Amino acid sequence: MNQPKDLPPATDLHLASRLAEIEPFHVVTLVTRAIELQSQGRDIVNMVIGEPDFPTPPAVVRAGIEALRHSQIRYTPSLGSTDLRGKLRGWYQGRYGIDVPESRIAVTSGSSAALLLTMGVLLSPGDEVMMADPSYPCNRHFVRAMEGRALTVAVDADTGYQLTAELIEKHWSPRTVAVMVATPSNPTGTLIPPDEMKKMHAVVRRKGGVLIVDEIYHGLTYGFDAHSALEFADDVFVINSFSKYFCMTGWRLGRMVMPQAYVPHIEKLAQNLYISNSDVAQQAAIAAFDAETLELLEENRAKFQQQRDYLLPALRDLGFDIPVEPQGAFYIYANCSRFTDDSFVFCRDLLENAGVAVAPGIDFGQHHAAQHVRFSYPKPVPVLQEGVRRLREYIKA
């Protein structure tokens, strides 16, 4: 087809400079390839994607269907429906014994939107957000998308792959405005002990910055419940979601608790960026707090623990080095240097030749990335066993 004369050729794109610094999410590329192989009839053991394989709890589905049948699906307030924010207040009271006023709670389109809004209100061009390397890949890109800079700090097994008060103190720069942590962490499944979190909060506060704590994997800790940063601070941003514990990834519903003074700013940005969250998803999520649902989610939690308890020793037996036991989320971050000096090539090869999909370290940062892979284990144990069998064959070959 001929291009009209007054239009630039299709290849002459006007790409924003920030795009050069936003990397692809390799996990998604591998998932796409895994799906492609499956559609060609290959059986793939998928340990790459970070989502529960349990369905959305039935009471939530029923509430969603009811909403579609009986209510007009409309815009809701930008910070979320009053009903759902009320439920979330009750959740914080019941789970953590803390009273968070509804006015500080925002419902968002996945916690992804909560993270984006937080960056949107905190960052001016060039401001830095400190975060661990390795950590959740999108974080550094949320920062970049809002014209900030990710200040990544290499962390190792000695700190449980987490930032510490000492590291924050050491790496803080005049441009640092915030520190972002996730506990439990993606990709390592490790937690920040409550005492350390208090120290980190004290350092950030003394420096005049803001602490952002991603608690999206709360509820998915094994043998104990995690503490929320909200138990001792009300000047932190606490990010959470319905995606993981509540098994609602595809409903795109997240939430955050913010310091009171930031509420109008977050609200203004949410109004402009997306007006409101999905009304259906919010109505459905009301049932996420029913006793029936919570019982089911606790059964799921026990299954996740069984899956971890199978996979962790099995991977160590194969020769993967996993120095810190992951106590939460559903990930195992493993050193694979006994088998490869390039974990990306290893992952690609493993998928193509052994039918096992795992995530390469490069997604989560730069620090020893080529020596690490992430296993995502929310799969029935027999599926994990098959994955381990294939890995053993592949490694032997």
Ligand X SMILES: Cc1ncc(COP(=O)(O)O)c(C=O)c1O
Q: Which positions lie near ligand X, rule CB under 6 A?
A: 50, 110-112, 136, 182, 186, 214, 216, 241, 243, 249, 254
Kindly state the smallest distance separating residue 317's Cβ from ligand X, in Å. Answer: 27
Rounded Cα distance between 183 and 192, Å, is 6
Complete DSSP assignment for 342-354: -HHHHHHHIIIII
Residues 6+ apart with CB under 8 A from 292: 57, 59
Cβ closest to ligand X, residue 78 vs residue 185 = 185
Partners of residue 257 on adjacent β-strands:
105, 238
CA triple 166-168-171, angle to 5 deg: 105
Rounded Cα distance between 79 and 106, Å, is 5
Cβ closest to ligand X, residue 29 vs residue 340 = 29
Both tokens assigned to 117: 């809004």
Kindly state the smallest distance separating residue 112's Cβ from ligand X, in Å. Answer: 3
- The residue number with the shortest CB distance to ligand X is 110
Cβ closest to ligand X, residue 201 vs residue 252 = 252
Q: E strands of the chain, at which residues?
A: 45-46, 105-108, 128-133, 149-154, 176-182, 210-214, 237-241, 254-257, 331-335, 356-357, 359-360, 372-376
Kindly state the smallest distance separating residue 363's Cβ from ligand X, in Å. Answer: 11
Cβ closest to ligand X, residue 132 vs residue 384 = 132
> In what helix (H) or strand (E) does residue 206 lie, and over which residues does it extend?
helix 194-207
Cβ closest to ligand X, residue 256 vs residue 388 = 256
Answer whether 254's CB lies under 8 Å from 246's CB: no
Cβ closest to ligand X, residue 379 vs residue 390 = 379
Start-to-end CA distance of the chain, whole Å, equals 51
Partners of residue 213 on adjacent β-strands:
181, 238
Both tokens assigned to 269: 């940005």
With 0-12 / 13-18 / 19 or more C-beta atoms within 10 angstroms meaning exposed / middle / buried, residue 360 is buried
Asked whether the CA dihedral 22, 23, 26, 28 is positive or negative, the reply is positive
3-class secondary structure, 130: strand
Amino acid code (one letter) for 80: G
Complete DSSP assignment for 82-96: HHHHHHHHHHHHHHH
Cβ closest to ligand X, residue 335 vs residue 376 = 376
Cβ closest to ligand X, residue 282 vs residue 314 = 282
Cβ closest to ligand X, residue 60 vs residue 314 = 60
Cβ closest to ligand X, residue 248 vs residue 322 = 248
Amino acid code (one letter) for 50: G
Kindly state the smallest distance separating residue 216's Cβ from ligand X, in Å. Answer: 5
Kindly state the smallest distance separating residue 184's Cβ from ligand X, in Å. Answer: 9
